[in-house]
């Protein structure tokens, strides 16, 4: 994949690991339509690039993302206009969040600072959340009279359980990284200064694993959440055929039997 220049993203590649940085630090990387469209484009490209086997998503400055960019609403609201937010959602987050969750590569959110509103949803759509000890989290939606969107009604209760999800959504208190860890909102908390090193080490580890099996695992988990147990097991059997057809499956089994370290190619 040729990496182009983006207006509100910085994208770079180190070996099989791609890093995407949200880049509008003056607004704590609030998700403008431009940033959302650019993220859609880059995640599609990285997801289908066979050379990319893990992706790190982070933010420039002291924010990961403060959610929707509210500045765009000032002018129409001052004029008394009431824009249909559903159009904005369907064209933006409703494409981005499933794309992130269904990316057939492991995606790590390296949460460097403020995470609010739809920024929480973006983090939840990633597979791992590594938080800096300087990160803070707020659902924020209720404070501006909205409901959690960008997939939060689905992803948040599945991540922290219904009771905590409701508490986080209704009160929208700002919680620190340690509290987020205790809630299960993030996988681990690391010192701010070593966030990218820790996220990079996790990405390197994931990039050496059988990438196709990781993609299929993600898809099977997502599908299972809307199936019965028996249906999910039927689906497992079908998807297992796809996993078993990969070179990495043969390599994994042969390496085990030959008592050596496997070398996976991601195919």
Which residues contact ligand LHQ by CB under 6 A?
A: 27-28, 30, 66-71, 85, 88-89, 114, 116-118, 138, 140-141, 144, 146, 149
- How wide is the angle at C-alpha 208 spanned by C-alphas 206 and 213, nearest 5°? 70
CB of 197 to ligand LHQ, least distance (A): 24
Report the candidate in 101, 22, 127 with the shortest Cα–Cα distance to residue 69: 22
* Whole-angstrom Cα Rg for the chain: 19
Output 139 or 243, the one with its CB closest to ligand LHQ.
Answer: 139
| Cα–Cα distance, 258 to 252 (Å, whole number) | 10
Other C-beta atoms closer than 10 Å to the C-beta of 99 total 15
- At closest approach, how far in Å is the CB of 169 from ligand LHQ? 11
Q: Which is nearer to ligand LHQ, 180 or 207 (CB)?
A: 180
> Least distance in Å: CB of 257 to ligand LHQ?
51
Q: Which is nearer to ligand LHQ, 119 or 215 (CB)?
A: 119
At its nearest, how many Å lie between ligand LHQ and the CB of residue 265?
A: 39
Measured from the CB atom, the residue of 113 and 200 that comes closer to ligand LHQ is 113
Nearer to ligand LHQ, 39 or 66 (CB): 66
Cβ contact 65:98 at 8 Å: no
Tell me whether residue 74 or residue 225 sits nearer to ligand LHQ (CB atom).
74
The H or E element spanning position 17 is strand 17-22
Q: Which one-letter DSSP state was computed for residue 115?
A: E
**What is the 8-class DSSP label of residue 32?**
-
Which strands form 175-176's sheet, in the order they lie side by side?
63-65, 114-116, 136-138, 175-176
Residue nearest to ligand LHQ (CB): 117
Which of 54, 175 has the CB closer to ligand LHQ?
175
Q: Which is nearer to ligand LHQ, 88 or 154 (CB)?
A: 88
Kindly write down the DSSP assignment for every residue of 173-234, as one continuous string: --EEHHHHHHHTSSSEEE-GGGHHHHHHHHHHHHHTS-HHHHHHHHHHHHHHTTS-HHHHHH
Residue 134: CB minimum distance to ligand LHQ, A: 11
CB of 154 to ligand LHQ, least distance (A): 15
Reported for 45-48, long-range contacts at CB under 8 A and 24+ positions apart, including other chains, are 45/1, 46/1, 46/18, 46/20, 46/103, 46/105, 47/99, 47/103, 47/104, 47/105
Taking the complex as a whole, the smallest distance from the CB of residue 85 to ligand LHQ amounts, in Å, to 4
Q: How far is the CB of 89 from ligand LHQ (least distance, A)?
A: 6
């Amino acid at each position: 994949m040729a990496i182009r220049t983006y207006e509100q993203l910085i994208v770079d590649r180190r070996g099989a690991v791609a890093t995407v940085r949200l880049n509008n630090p003056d607004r704590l990387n609030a998700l403008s339509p431009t940033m959302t469209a650019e993220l859609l484009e880059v995640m599609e490209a990285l997801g289908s690039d066979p050379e990319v086997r893990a992706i790190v998503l982070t933010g420039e400055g002291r924010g990961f993302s403060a959610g929707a960019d509210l500045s765009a609403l000032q002018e129409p609201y001052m004029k008394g206009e009431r824009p249909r937010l559903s159009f904005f959602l369907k064209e933006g987050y409703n494409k981005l969040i499933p794309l992130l969750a269904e990316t057939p590569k492991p995606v790590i959110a390296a949460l460097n600072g403020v995470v609010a509103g739809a920024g929480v949803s973006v983090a939840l759509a990633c597979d791992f959340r590594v938080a800096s000890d300087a990160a803070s989290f707020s659902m924020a939606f209720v404070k501006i009279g909205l409901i959690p969107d960008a997939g939060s009604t689905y992803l948040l209760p599945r991540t922290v359980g219904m009771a905590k999800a409701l508490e986080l959504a209704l009160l929208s208190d700002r919680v620190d990284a340690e509290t987020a860890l205790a809630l299960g909102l993030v996988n681990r908390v690391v010192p701010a200064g070593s966030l990218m090193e820790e996220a990079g080490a996790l990405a390197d580890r994931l990039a050496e694993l059988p990438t196709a099996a990781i993609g299929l695992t993600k898809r099977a988990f997502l599908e299972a959440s809307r199936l019965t147990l028996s249906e999910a097991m039927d689906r497992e059997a079908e998807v297992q055929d796809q996993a078993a057809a990969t070179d990495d499956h043969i390599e994994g089994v042969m390496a085990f039997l030959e008592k050596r370290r496997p070398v996976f190619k991601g195919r």
